Amino acid sequence: MPAEWARHRGTWFSWPHNPGTWPGQLEGTERALARAVAALSQHEKVFINVLDARHALHVRDLLPAETVFPEVSFEIIPTNDAWCRDHGAIFVVAPDGELTALDFGFNAWGGKYPPFDLDDAVPPQMAQRLQLPVVSVDHILEGGSVDVNGAGALLTTRQCLLNPNRNPRRSRADIEALLGRYLGAERVFWLGDGIIGDDTDGHVDDITRFVAENRVITAMEPDPRDPNHRPLLENRALLETFRLADGRGLEVVELPMPDALCHEGERLPASYANFYIANDLVLVPVFGCDRDAEALTIIGSCFPDRRVLGIDCRDVVVGLGTLHCLSQQVPDIAPASSGP
C-alpha cells in the first residue's frame, strides 16, 4: 500500500446525505466538503459518489466558483453514509506492479449503524469505474484503522483491530499475517486506545499518522484532567519502542489536541491528526479554537513542499469524523509493461 503522500491519480468521496449522521449540521458539512473539493480539484482528480443524477446536480451547485470542474467526476454509486475512508476500496500495488482495489468487508464499525449494505458494496464499483482489478478479502477492515509509510510499516490500534466486533475468530498473529499479505506490512506497530468520542473503537487516523518513512505525527493532550491525556501519553511512549525493518526508530512530532468540542452533551472526536495528504496540498480540520494556528504550523513543517489549508470542521465532526475519514486516495501507479 503506497504512503498517502505518494502521487495520487485522484481522491474519492462519498457525498454526505444522511441527516441522521449530522443532526442539524448536514448543510454545514456539505459546505465544508465543497470547499475541500474545490481546493483538491486544483491539484488532482476528484471522484464523488452520489445517490443519483439529481443528487449530482445538488452537489455540483454547492461547489464554489474556484472548483476546476473538469477535474470533478460524479459517480452514481449509492451509499448509506459518507465515510469513504472506511467503506471504500483500499488501493495497493499488486505483485505484478498493477494498481489493484481491495474489497474488505465493512460492518459499520462492529454493526453499530445498520443498514450498511450499500456501503459494503462500494469497493468493486469504484474499481469498475477506474477499470482496475479487484480482490475481495474475507475480513472486516476500515481504511481509517490503519496508516502506512509505503515501505513496509503499518500503524494501528489494539482497541480497533483486536475488537471482537470485527473479526472475532482471528488472533493478533492472524491479523498481522493478513496485513502483510494484502497491504505489504512487514512491521505492524500496535498502539493502544483512541480518543474519547470516537465511535470507530480507536481509529489510528485520529491519533497518529506517518508523515515520512521514519517520522510520525502524534496527538497529545497536555491537560491531565482531560480523558484523552492518559491514552495519548501511553501511545506516545509506545512510539519510542517501535523499530523499522532496518532498525531505525521513529522520529516523533507532537501535535496538540483542539479544545474539547461537545454536541448535545457528548464529547466529539475532534483531532487535527485527521488531516488528508493530497498532491501538493494538505487539508487540515480546524475547529475555531486557539490551537488551530499551532496545529497548522506543525503539520506544515512536516510538508514544506505542500500548501496546508485549514477547513472548518465544527459541523463535520458532529458526524464523528472529519476530512481523512471522508476521503480515500487513489495512487498514481504507472501500468506494468506488457512486454520489452
Looking at the annotation, which residues are catalytic? 325
Nearest-10 Cα torsion for 30, 201, 211, 308: 20
Residue 236: name the closest of 199, 263, 273 by CA.
Answer: 273
**Pairwise CA distance, residues 304 & 71, whole Å:** 25
Residue written as cell 465515510? 83
Cell of 122: 462500494
Nearest-10 Cα torsion for 22, 28, 31, 37: -40
**Pairwise CA distance, residues 160 & 139, whole Å:** 13
φ, ψ (nearest 5 deg) of residue 96 = -85, 5
Per-residue DSSP letter, 120:
H
Residue 331: name the closest of 163, 145, 90, 31 by CA.
Answer: 90
φ, ψ (nearest 5 deg) of residue 241 = -95, -10
